[in-house]
Amino acid sequence: MFLQKTLVVAALLCAGTSVALAAPVKYLIVDRSSEVVMNKVGSDAVWADKLPQKLAARLAKLYPTGRFGFISQVEGGFTESKQCVVTARVMLVPRSGKSLVFDAKKGATTFDAQPNLTQPQCQDLAKAKLGEAIAAVMSSLVAEK
């Protein structure tokens, strides 16, 4: 009887572990971008592309999701001479409950300026610069492993 209970408990623990391992890794990401060049949907799409589940799972081993999160910020727009100017910054920061502490552990900033772009083209440039900043931070985090 004791052996049967032990086997049942062991089976339940194994089943619970596989369910826990299958849960997607989700970092808290706060985006403070200017609506002129980057909206929430665009930011989320870039993050989803540059931080896939496989990479997030690897990072979570070194930087647990309960203790760390990311802040991203994309600023810019058009100058008087109609030049699109974009700056994107991404930082890994400590987490305090449901909020992030502005104490960057890793960060990257990218920027670019291009003349004669339309508003959608400038927004595409902003997405590209955000993607570069995310990739730069991720490469520095993975390299530490």
Is the per-residue pLDDT at 18 higher than 60?
Answer: no
**Threshold 0.85, pTM exceeds:** no
Query: What value does the mean pLDDT of the chain take?
Result: 88
Minimal CA–CA distance to 31: which of 19, 49, 44, 45?
A: 44
Domains delineated in the chain = 27-143 (3.30.160)
Encoded amino acid at 40, one letter:
K
Q: What is the mean pLDDT of residues 54-80?
A: 95
Answer yes or no: is pLDDT of 43 > 60: yes
Determine the average pLDDT of the residues in 108-122. 96
pLDDT-based confidence at residue 53 (cuts at 50, 70, 90): very high
By C-alpha distance, which of 61, 62, 64, 31 is closest to 134? 31
Q: Looking at per-residue confidence, does 125 or 4 come out higher? A: 125
| Residue-level pLDDT at 4 | 61
Average pLDDT of the segment spanning 115-141 = 96
Query: What is the maximum alpha-carbon separation in the chain?
Result: 83
Q: Per-residue confidence at 139, pLDDT binned at 50, 70, 90?
A: very high
